[in-house]
Amino acid sequence: MLVFIARRLVVSLFVLFASTFVMFVLAANVGDPLADLRELPENDREAAMAERIERMNLDLPVIARYFLWLRGALTGDLGVNRQGQDVNILLTDAISATMQLVVAATVLAIVIGIAIGIISALRQYSGFDHVVTFGAFVAFSLPIFWVGVLLKQFGAIEFNNWLARPTIPTLVIVLVSVLVGLAWSSLMVGDRRTRLLAFFGAGGVTAVILLWISATTWFADPGLGPVVIALSALGGAVGISVLVCGPKPSRPMYAALTAAVVGTVLSFVLTPVLADPNLLIILGLAVTTVIVCVGIGYGFGGVLHRRNAIATAVWTGLFTGGVIFVDRMLQSFASYSRSVQGRPISTVGAATPNYQGTFWETSLDSVGHLALPTLALILVSLATYTRYSRASMLEVMNQDYVRTARAKGLPERTVITRHAFRNGLIPITTLVAYDFGTVIGGAVVTETVFGWRAMGHLLLTGLNEADPAPIMAFFVVSGGAIVVFNMVADIAYAYLDPRIRLS
Amino acid sequence: MRNIGKITKATAVVTAGVLALSACSSNGGGDADATGGGSTITLAWDQEYDSYNNTTAGANSSKNAIVNHGLTSGFWYFGEGGKVTPNTDFGSYELVSEDPQIVEYSIHPDAVWSDGEAIDCADAMLWWAQQSGRYDFSVIGTGGTEDTLMPDCEIGDKEFALEYEKPYADWASNGPSNGNTTMMPAHVVAEQGGLTTEELVQAIRDEDNDALAEAAEFFNEGWVVSGALPDAELIPSSGPYKLASYEAGQSLTLEVNENWWGEAPATDNIVVRWIASDEQTQALENLEINIMRPQPTVDLIDQLDALEGVQHEVYDEYIYEHLDFNFDSSPFEEYELREAFAHCVPRQLIVDNLIKPVQPEAETMDVRNISPFDPGYDEAVAASGGDEWAEVDLDRSRELLEELDMVGQEVRLGFIGGNPRRAQTAELIKSSCDEAGFDVQINAEDTFFDTDGGLSQNTYDVAMFAWSGSAEVSGWNSTFRSPEECTADGKGNNNGCYSNDELDGLLEDILQEPDFDNRLEIINEIETILWDDLVTIPLFSHPGTAAWSDNLGNIVPNPAQTDIVWNMWEWTAQ
């Protein structure tokens, strides 16, 4: 295995090395780096050209320029662009912007995509499955620049306008409730009566919530309140323990419920701390939550259920923490909205320039700026994940060992979570690793539409200005990332799949 | 069948969802009226700021100019309507002698850099050293200043004089200004160059480039912004604003310079956000920016018209589109053929079809060297008879072609590719001139402006491109002068290699004519020759647009390089 990795690494390095040469020659010939200067008035033209020729070494042949670049690059100096800006610094800024923009979107797309894919595999050929398939293909074929512009119009401008008087028209309430009802009823296994019950139950609850939101103009000054926090925490506890160890009351479930109750109570006790914390405090609270929940799980679990009890307690604790976090953000929404002239969702940029506020307000500022680009990226990349995980899950579900597991009388929940789900994820690991590699190369169009200047912008400007230094910086990082993550994918695959590891 | 039924159902559900979404948005569309940015005004710009020193050749670009305009000040600036306007806050200057031509400058006694250092002779010496082009300081162009004597003043002096070796018509706009001809802080350059201010000034007096090497290195490269602003002590301000903060790829903030001795600016903070031009309209609608300066298109104007709470204006810029004949290697050396072509170019139709949709009051541009909004334009048109060429006369055009026996003559219309409006203009010219009997070949080249491209190599018969103009006569002087030799390097701006001794004399005269009215007289003579001989055919001046939230005050578009920001210190927000 080690030899295999080493060999891959060496070969990849040579490939990368050779491709920098090809890339440099291409980049140096992509256009005329002096084009813009030729249109200057005659008196100004010469000096400007001379300056740029000197800075970009245009008087040397391309090969010589490549080796000059390589000498710098090997010592960690990627040179200057044609304006004399330090490319190392430009690259650092670009990478950090790209990370902010794409990491959340990629993680969310993976989690949501896999979840939807697996559910639609478990309910193959149901209404839900068809809708998901249809939706995935629609989203997959949407051009992102168009999605971006539409999102900006409806998700930002119109939404912000609507926030001034946030009531929901009756027609919308009816339609949304029907949709939610349909979704739930198609997920239910059972006879017509169960489905009808699910339809009316889910639809009715949705309608009531929407009516309440509309009547209280909840969106003008949102928040969850103690009741909703407590209900969500307890609901989460039950849900998580059902997933982990089934619907019967058991020690892990008690642990989870205890964690939920402790979390809810603490949310009131900690009010002064939560008024204006910083990131460190939040992370500290998360760590404390984990430690406390491990303790709860340890105490409740007994010898037999200790592992499951600790897992359910920790997940429930973190979930409760998440609910409290969201509640705090929502409580600050009204004041944040006021501070940005009632327009909390932004169409461009990474932050409101010079914005100052509490931790919650600055977080909302980031969320307001990230919401639309993240949504756009999720929409278009969701399809791949749903389709892949659906196919992979279906394949696993038809394997002999799954039938064996069912035959020996295991409950369906155990068959799915223990036997099918884990193995179904193996092929997706490759996809995820590869995706992370390409994502660093940036989301060029998304960046442009939403006014971010990240990796894609670095490349585009370099191409437009026929300036090799930024192009090469982009290439080294994105090419390197693809090489590394491809290898990570291979290694992960070998690690996860014993058939490969042991062969 | 079962599946099809389900799919139909699914489609219906999705459609209902879309309907719900649109219903939600249209019903909800109220007016979220803004209270304005308080004392902050945000301007969107396409390209990112990258140098505090835009007086160097490489950094001379509007992305830097619009910011540095507020950071610097000088004896004059391009004021309302692009006119050269003395800035009495900074000081005063006057022509004290015409022969020899001497201009005396006097800096305001209270003038200081934002770090407290006085603005004085040392800064003026550095400015002169750079503008004269005799040192290693990078400079945009040396026109005017290269023919002046070194100012004779001592550090601490607030007065200095520029003496011209030969008279220079644009003396009023040749002294230190703000933006790309401003005075840079000599004390900062000296310190970064390892010198005292005294040593710096002495080295300039001695023309000692070796002693200035480090200083010049810093001057040319040290103010480039990569990732973060240079240290605060390196970037003092001589204008009403100073640099407050910078977020790479996102925005830049200007705040009031509390050491500014003139009238305090009306708005505390000016923020510049870098946003691709296509994305600016929605940002303006969502109140993320307050001012935008996009290229006008019909779609954009329609969008702006539909926005509430937004004002916009379309106006002439100092840029004009024109046709240049090739006098070196094309059939257009023949005057009659040029005349035939001039008769078939549909100048009025081009304006009607391509410019009027965005600027309803647009007209053809009938002379080259005075912009339609500048004084003297109408007189120049009347004197030169340029307005007679607006409408086509296809009969006359065909008659001339027949007399020449050149019906079906192939002519290559060269221009740079990738510009839709120019391509449409070319199509209009082609359809009209083909009807008259020409065979117009449309040569859109992506490399038209390159050294090996069409314009330099004269592989066109008639070229179409734009010149950026200005109110200064030195700006366009070389365009019509006989070239030394007709090669890519030798012909300068006179791409078609037109040569006329009488015109050369007039061009030399105007460059040395200090009196404005006399200059206008000479321009009339020049334009008459240019029309009589059909050297070039001007088409239209380019329209520019600006749009801003209507709670802002004193936003006045400007045709000059200083653009919309020319009076940024007067901007107000309610």
B59 and A83 within 8 Å at the Cβ level: the answer is yes
**Mean pLDDT score across all residues of chain A:** 89
pLDDT tens, residue by residue, A442-487: 678 888 889 888 898 899 889 988 899 999 999 999 888 888 888 8
Instruction: Please give the share of chain A, as a percent, with pLDDT higher than 90.
Output: 48
Selecting from A52, A90, A350 the residue whose C-beta is nearest the C-beta of B227 gives A90
B42 and A353 within 8 Å at the Cβ level: the answer is yes
For residue A427, the tally of other CB atoms under 10 A from its CB is 17
For range B298-322, the mean pLDDT: 90
Terminal C-alpha separation, chain B? 65
Question: In this complex, is the C-beta atom of B25 within 8 Å of any C-beta atom belonging to chain A?
Answer: yes
Q: Residue A314: in which H helix or E strand, if any? A: helix A306-331
Residue A39 pLDDT:
66
CA B351 from centroid of its chain's CA atoms:
22
For range B435-440, the mean pLDDT: 93
A346 and B286 within 8 Å at the Cβ level: the answer is yes
- DSSP secondary structure code for residue B386 in this structure: G
A161 and B30 within 8 Å at the Cβ level: the answer is yes
- Using pLDDT thresholds of 50, 70 and 90, give the confidence band for residue B36: very low
Q: Does the structure show a pLDDT above 60 at B11?
A: no
Rounded CA gap, B182 and B176, in Å? 5
Rounded CA gap, B52 and B67, in Å? 8
pLDDT tens, residue by residue, A218-263: 988 898 888 999 999 999 999 998 888 888 888 889 999 999 999 9
Q: How far is B236 from chain A (nearest CA, A)?
A: 20
Strand B536-549 and strand B572-573: pairing?
unpaired
Instruction: Please give the share of chain B, as a percent, with pLDDT higher than 70.
Output: 93
Please, are residues B264 and B257 in contact by the beta-carbon 8 Å criterion?
Answer: no
Tell me which chain A residues have a C-beta less than 8 angstroms from the C-beta of B218.
none
Selecting from A83, A154, A157 the residue whose C-beta is nearest the C-beta of B21 gives A154
Chain B residue with Cα closest to A166: B28
A106: its two tokens: 């990629």
Selecting from A47, A171, A179 the residue whose C-beta is nearest the C-beta of B138 gives A47
- DSSP secondary structure code for residue B54 in this structure: T
- DSSP secondary structure code for residue B52 in this structure: S
**Mean pLDDT score across all residues of chain B:** 87
Task: Tell me the three-class secondary structure of B474-495, residue by residue.
Answer: CCCHHHHCCCCCCCCCCCCCCC
pLDDT tens, residue by residue, B381-397: 999 988 888 889 999 99
Q: Residue B96: in which H helix or E strand, if any? A: strand B91-98
Task: Give the residue with greater pLDDT, A82 vs B107.
Answer: B107
Please, are residues B266 and B555 in contact by the beta-carbon 8 Å criterion?
Answer: no
Q: Does the structure show a pLDDT above 60 at A31?
A: yes
B250 and A44 within 8 Å at the Cβ level: the answer is no
Q: Residue B313: in which H helix or E strand, if any? A: strand B310-325
pLDDT tens, residue by residue, A70-117: 999 999 899 888 888 889 988 998 898 888 888 889 899 999 999 999
Q: Does the structure show a pLDDT above 80 at B17?
A: no
Tell me which chain A residues have a C-beta less than 8 angstroms from the C-beta of B216.
none
- According to DSSP, the residues that pair with B320 across neighbouring strands are B467, B541
Rounded CA gap, B257 and B571, in Å? 16
pLDDT tens, residue by residue, A173-214: 999 999 999 888 888 877 889 889 999 999 999 999 999 999
Non-local CB neighbours of B357 within 8 Å, separated by 6+ positions = B298, B301
pLDDT tens, residue by residue, A288-299: 999 999 999 999
Rounded CA gap, B80 and B560, in Å? 9
Give B 435-474 residues with CB within 8 A of chain A: 447, 449-451, 465, 468, 474
Terminal C-alpha separation, chain A? 11
pLDDT tens, residue by residue, A405-435: 999 999 888 898 888 988 888 888 888 888 8
For range A29-36, the mean pLDDT: 83
Residue A503 pLDDT:
63
Task: Give the residue with greater pLDDT, B429 vs A46.
Answer: B429
B280: its two tokens: 């600016």
3 state DSSP class of A419: helix
Selecting from A35, A157, A179 the residue whose C-beta is nearest the C-beta of B285 gives A157
For residue B72, the tally of other CB atoms under 10 A from its CB is 29
Please, are residues B364 and B539 in contact by the beta-carbon 8 Å criterion?
Answer: yes
B50 and A135 within 8 Å at the Cβ level: the answer is no
Residue from B3, B4, B13 to probe the interface with A (highest A Cβ count within 10 Å):
B13
Chain B residue with Cα closest to A127: B6
Tell me which chain B residues have a C-beta less than 8 angstroms from the C-beta of A35.
449-450
Rounded CA gap, B181 and A33, in Å? 25
Question: In this complex, is the C-beta atom of B306 within 8 Å of any C-beta atom belonging to chain A?
Answer: no
Residue B15 pLDDT:
35
Selecting from B30, B245, B283 the residue whose C-beta is nearest the C-beta of A348 gives B283
For range B356-369, the mean pLDDT: 91
- Using pLDDT thresholds of 50, 70 and 90, give the confidence band for residue B23: very low
Give B 321-360 residues with CB within 8 A of chain A: none
Chain A residue with Cα closest to B230: A85
Strand B536-549 and strand B251-256: pairing?
unpaired
Question: In this complex, is the C-beta atom of B9 within 8 Å of any C-beta atom belonging to chain A?
Answer: yes
Residue type, B220: N
Selecting from B3, B140, B226 the residue whose C-beta is nearest the C-beta of A47 gives B140
pTM of the model: 0.83
Residue A225 pLDDT:
86
Give B 109-138 residues with CB within 8 A of chain A: 133, 138
For range B536-548, the mean pLDDT: 93
Tell me which chain B residues have a C-beta less than 8 angstroms from the C-beta of A44.
57, 60, 140-141
Residue B464 pLDDT:
93
pLDDT tens, residue by residue, B212-258: 999 999 999 899 998 889 999 999 999 999 999 999 889 999 999 99
ipTM reported for the complex, 2 dp? 0.84
pLDDT tens, residue by residue, A324-338: 999 999 999 999 999
- According to DSSP, the residues that pair with B536 across neighbouring strands are B324
Sign of the Cα pseudo-torsion (B238, B239, B244, B247, in order):
negative
A353 and B251 within 8 Å at the Cβ level: the answer is yes
Structural domains present in chain B:
316-543 (3.10.105.10)
Rounded CA gap, A193 and A186, in Å? 12
A41 and B29 within 8 Å at the Cβ level: the answer is no
Q: How far is B436 from chain A (nearest CA, A)?
A: 32
Give B 189-228 residues with CB within 8 A of chain A: 220-221, 224-228
Rounded CA gap, A284 and A298, in Å? 21
A164 and B140 within 8 Å at the Cβ level: the answer is no
Residue B8 pLDDT:
38
Q: Does the structure show a pLDDT above 70 at B13?
A: no
B106 burial class (0-12, 13-18, 19+ CB within 10 angstroms)?
middle
Rounded CA gap, B300 and A448, in Å? 18
Tell me which chain B residues have a C-beta less than 8 angstroms from the C-beta of A346.
286, 288
Residue B81 pLDDT:
83
Tell me which chain A residues have a C-beta less than 8 angstroms from the C-beta of B225.
85
Half-sphere exposure in the Cβ direction for B166 (13 Å, CA): 10
